[in-house]
Amino acid sequence: MKISINRNKISISGNSSCNYNLKGTIMTISIELQKHQQLIHKLLKRYKITYNYDEYFQILFIHLWQLLINYNPQHSNSLESYLYIRLRFHLIDQFRSKHLKYHFVDINLCHLEAPNNFSSIEASILYTQFSNQLSHKEQQWFLLSLQGYKQYEIANIMQLSLSTIKNYKKAVQVKYSNYFKI
């Protein structure tokens, strides 16, 4: 990619050749960055990033800037969904490139919000009793599922095939419906 700056014009050539008005583009991108910055916070919260929050925020912010420059409305219906999907996959790529290991949380230490008609003590007892009916692998699947991981992500974390993960899901659903008589 080649970038040349002449007075008030930036020319970018390479995979896509574009010409941008310097004053208008910087203002537009600055406004768009502020507008879509919440997507980064949403993603970091979704993946429970706390330790390296600033580092990941900066990486995603730079990628957001690149995405805004390269966005073509003819190829995507919504800028918001385009940015969210691309930023999410970029974050996942960052996890993979850093070889982050997933740390399993002890299922007994997991705290769930109680429904409105239950006290937190009752919900905790029900949760503990239900989780005791599950095998160790089913408990791992259940906890990761509650944390918001997708099935293929759980398969990667647990180092099992997707069909095995689906079997755990089905087994947990059956045990859940039997336990709560749904």
Tally of domains in the chain: 2
**Domain annotation covers residue 163:** yes
Quote the domain boundaries for residue 62: 25-97
Burial class (CB in 10 A: 0-12, 13-18, 19+), 68: buried
Cα 11 to Cα 124: distance, rounded to the nearest angstrom: 60
Type of residue found at 18? C
Please say which residue of 39, 65, 97 terminates a domain: 97
**Domain annotation covers residue 6:** no
DSSP state of 74: T
| Average pLDDT of the residues in 56-65 | 91
Burial class (CB in 10 A: 0-12, 13-18, 19+), 47: middle
Cα 25 to Cα 10: distance, rounded to the nearest angstrom: 9
**pLDDT digit string, tens, across residues 100-129:** 555 555 444 454 444 445 567 877 788 788
Residue 97's pLDDT band (boundaries 50, 70, 90)?
Answer: confident
